[in-house]
Amino acid sequence: MFALFLVSVVAEERRPVRWGILGTGSIASDFGRVLTSMRGDAEVVAVGSRSGDRAAAFAAELGLVGACAHGSYEALVADPAVDVVYVATPSTRHVSDSLLCLRAGKAVLCEKSMAPTAAEAAEVLALARERGLFFLHGAPSET
């Protein structure tokens, strides 16, 4: 339901979906490049890292002119310009980072693996459902 609302709001405002990228590793870089290739449909507006310098360097590497470089994950999820957060931190952080995003009212696309246990996955999904927020787990592709 939130995803439809998000698309509707974005369509009404005639603007791209505004993404925040949580984490600055190679997978985050790959996803950022995909988003920047979607001219008009998506925009990376913020990057979050445990270091402001690393977030700024990541944004510069991807050519994200105007993107806010946050020196903490908490600052990224508090950014009102962000519609959806791509969680690309180490997999041991995915549950806590997904919960952080959802508690801040952000839709989430979480890189694999989502959670180490079914109980933790259920906790994330329950919070998304409770808050009416979109949550998607990036499952591995089959070859």
Q: pLDDT by residue (tens digit) across 45-69?
A: 999 999 999 999 999 999 999 999 9
For residue 7, count other CB atoms closer than 10 A to its CB. Answer: 12
Residue 106 bears catalytic tag: no
15 or 62: which leads in pLDDT = 62
Q: Whole-number mean pLDDT of the chain?
A: 89
Residue 74 one-letter amino acid: E
Domains, the chain, ordered by start: 2-83+92-114 (3.40.50.720)
Phi-psi region of 9 (alpha: psi -120 to 50; beta: other; left: phi over 0): alpha
Cα separation of 35 and 23, whole Å?
A: 15
Beta carbons of 127 and 99 less than 8 angstroms apart:
yes
Q: What is the pLDDT of residue 119?
A: 97
Q: Which of 92, 112, 116, 132 is catalytic?
A: 112
Helices (H), 38-86: 52-62, 73-78
